[in-house]
Structure 1
Amino acid sequence: MEDLSLDDFLRRNRELADLSLEQLRGLSESDKHWTARRSFLARNLPHYPRERMDYLVALSMVWANHIFMGCRYSDHLMEKVLDMADGVDVEDAPCFTTRDEIMKQKR
């Protein structure tokens, strides 16, 4: 039996990979939110072994929470997820004003 890397497997079995990603969708996740998070997951899936899948899912949620709800996390974590999301397009992403930006405007 041929020993395939995850990249090779995904290229050869895109439909199967797409179906398995669907299992990671949250019950109350909107189509727009899921489309973006799914792209994040698909982009990074080859870099995470099966036993680290929970970590990848958590990172995808951190990224989605930042994009769609304006949540902030540590600088290190934000740098990591934003780097992981490089190339992921988010259609009609909301724009948030941070507390620090509001405080600067009041001065």
Structure 2
Amino acid sequence: MLSSSSSKTQSRRSMVSADRTSWYFTAVILALILVGSIRANSQAEDDTVRGGQLLHRPCDEIYVVGEGETLHTISDKCGDPFIVERNPHIQDPDDVFPGLVIKIIPSTPRKF
């Protein structure tokens, strides 16, 4: 009788160990897929192909100002030093607020 009970206990431990191993393996695979997907998406968003050349394009032509951004930071980020000149609706360059829509035209795209 003890032998049968011991055998069942050993069998349960093996099953629990196998279940844990499969869950850990599944979690690792999902994490690798997620990391690979994030890396692929961020690279696809930052790079554009034009005329066979790979160009860095961080901003769209229509840009929505985010929290904490200034025209200076947007100009540096997007490569457009003439934001105020291209956006006559901006009366005061210091009065930029989140949600403001501006036109961006990069002066020279940066090559990688």
TM range (shorter): under 0.3
Is the helix fraction higher in 1 or 2? 1
TM-score of the two chains, using structure 1 as the length reference: 0.26
Is the strand fraction higher in 1 or 2? 2
Bigger CA radius of gyration: 2
